[in-house]
């Protein structure tokens, strides 16, 4: 609403690049399209420039793996990203009605989920930052919870239902064809009968890695075929988005965190620090962003004496220095 209003006052796109970006909005209004047509007609070079800029953007599509280190370094959303809603006017006569509406909205979803939620009454397992824990479920399946994880499980029904709410988990599923094992992950399900696989949900991105057996990832639309994984496959998705196949995993080093260690083979330092950051409350910052590009091959033990930062300092090619409470800065050695 505010976005739409603001769009009335914003600057008109001037260059081909401006136009490519502006037309990337989900719903370009008629007036914008008309202005775009006028711009195209104004100079024959504009069409060529536009296609060039759009093509440039399209051509970067295969670079995700290359830039995943930089992606991981993007700081999470600031806590107060949006201004608190303030109406600015509070007519007394309407106040009662407003309160009632707000309450109804707040309660309705809880009621609905209560009635429908197959995970009602599920056991909840959590780990703190830096903690890794094995849990044996009632059906004999063993789940290893990674750092900062919340998992709910209810395995006594027809379907063994679990939900990974955040963090990461590795599953060694007890074989039982009659009772499918199903993990809710973001807006879809991972369904298996007996297998070894890992799931994670971090910063809104869900990931499924398969080590043994087979799993299917359902699609949010029922009409769509589920995505089937074979051992070594890895997929990611975001709620509402398409399932994306990622680079094949190396079964020897994948989910090494389960053995309380992190293994990096020729990984960007930025990626290594992002991963490390999940096991500590401290925020790790690069003194020089260029440092993040350095490639690292290292094995890091997640438990043992001292903090995980102390141990990392011994194996990584950087100096990790505590600069304040909860802050660590990485500088070149």
Q: Which residues bind other proteins (CB under 8 A)?
A: 3, 6, 10-11, 13, 15, 17-28, 33, 36-37, 40-41, 44, 47-48, 50-64, 66-68, 70-71, 74, 76-78, 81-82, 205, 238, 241, 289, 293
SS3 label, residue 134: strand
Q: How far is the CB of 149 from other proteins (least distance, A)?
A: 22
What are the CA-CA distances from residue 145 to residues 52, 124, 203, 274, 315 (Å)? Answer: 47, 12, 17, 18, 25
CA angle centred on 197, ends 194 and 203, rounded to 5°: 140
DSSP string, 33-51: HHHHHHHHHH-HHHHHHHH
Could you tell me the CA-to-CA distances from 167 to 29, 74, 247 in Å, in that order? 40, 18, 21
Smaller CB separation from other proteins, 35 or 123? 35
CB of 12 to other proteins, least distance (A): 12
Q: Where are the beta strands (DSSP E) in 69-180?
A: 123-126, 133-136, 142-145, 150-154, 160-172
Least spacing, CB of residue 5 vs other proteins, in Å: 11
CA dist 195 → 34, 180, 238, 259, 292 (Å): 56, 11, 24, 18, 36
DSSP 294-317: SEEEEEEESSSSS-HHHHHHHHSS
The two three-digit tokens of residue 132, written as one number: 């890794």
Q: How far is the CB of 300 from other proteins (least distance, A)?
A: 25
Q: In degrees, to the nearest 5, what angle opens at C-alpha 128 toward C-alphas 270 and 145?
A: 80
CB of 60 to other proteins, least distance (A): 6
What are the angstrom distances between the C-alpha of 262 and each of 116, 208, 256, 274, 299?
39, 18, 6, 12, 6
Residue 231 CB, nearest distance to other proteins (Å)? 26
CB of residue 109 to other proteins, shortest distance in Å: 21
Nearest residue (CB) to other proteins, 55 versus 304: 55
If the CB atoms of residues 143 and 268 are measured against other proteins, the closer one turns out to be: 268
Closer to other proteins by Cβ: residue 13 or 220: 13
| Cα gap 149→278, rounded to integer Å | 10
User: Cα 145 vs. chain centroid, distance in angstroms?
Assistant: 17
For other proteins, give the closer residue by CB, 62 or 225: 62
Min separation Cβ 59 and other proteins, Å: 5
Q: Which is nearer to other proteins, 65 or 104 (CB)?
A: 65
**In this complex, which beta carbon is closest to other proteins, that of residue 71 or of residue 99?**
71
Give the residue with the Cβ less far from other proteins, 70 or 212.
70
Measured distance CA(188)–CA(203) in Å, rounded: 16
């Amino acid at each position: 609403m505010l976005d739409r209003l603001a769009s009335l006052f914003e600057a008109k796109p001037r260059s081909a690049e401006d136009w490519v970006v502006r037309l990337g909005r989900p719903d370009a209004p008629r007036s914008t399209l008309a202005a775009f047509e006028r711009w195209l007609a104004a100079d024959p070079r504009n069409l060529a420039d536009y296609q060039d800029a759009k093509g440039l953007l399209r051509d970067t599509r295969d670079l995700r793996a290359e830039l995943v280190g930089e992606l991981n370094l993007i700081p999470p959303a600031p806590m107060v990203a949006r201004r608190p809603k303030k109406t600015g006017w509070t007519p007394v006569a309407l106040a009662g009605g407003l309160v009632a509406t707000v309450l109804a909205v707040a309660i309705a979803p809880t009621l609905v989920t209560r009635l429908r939620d197959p995970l009602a009454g599920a056991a909840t397992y959590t780990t703190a930052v830096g903690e890794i824990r094995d849990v044996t479920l009632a059906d004999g399946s063993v789940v290893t919870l990674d750092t900062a994880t919340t998992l709910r499980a209810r395995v006594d029904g027809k379907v063994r239902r679990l939900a990974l709410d955040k963090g990461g988990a590795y599953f060694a599923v007890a074989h039982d064809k009659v009772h499918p094992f199903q993990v809710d992950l973001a807006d879809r399900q991972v369904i298996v009968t007996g297998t070894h696989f890992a799931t994670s949900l971090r910063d809104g991105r869900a990931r499924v890695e398969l080590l043994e057996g087979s799993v299917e990832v359902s699609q949010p639309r029922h009409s769509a075929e589920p995505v089937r994984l074979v051992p070594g496959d890895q997929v990611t998705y975001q709620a509402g988005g398409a399932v994306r196949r990622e680079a094949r995993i190396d079964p020897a080093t994948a989910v090494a965190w389960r053995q309380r260690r992190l293994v990096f083979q020729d990984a960007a330092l930025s990626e290594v620090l992002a991963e490390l950051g999940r096991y500590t409350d401290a925020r790790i910052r690069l003194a020089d962003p260029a440092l993040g590009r350095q490639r690292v091959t290292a094995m890091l033990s997640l438990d043992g004496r001292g903090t995980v930062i102390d141990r990392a300092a011994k194996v990584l090619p950087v100096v990790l220095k505590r600069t304040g409470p909860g802050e660590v800065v990485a500088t070149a050695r």
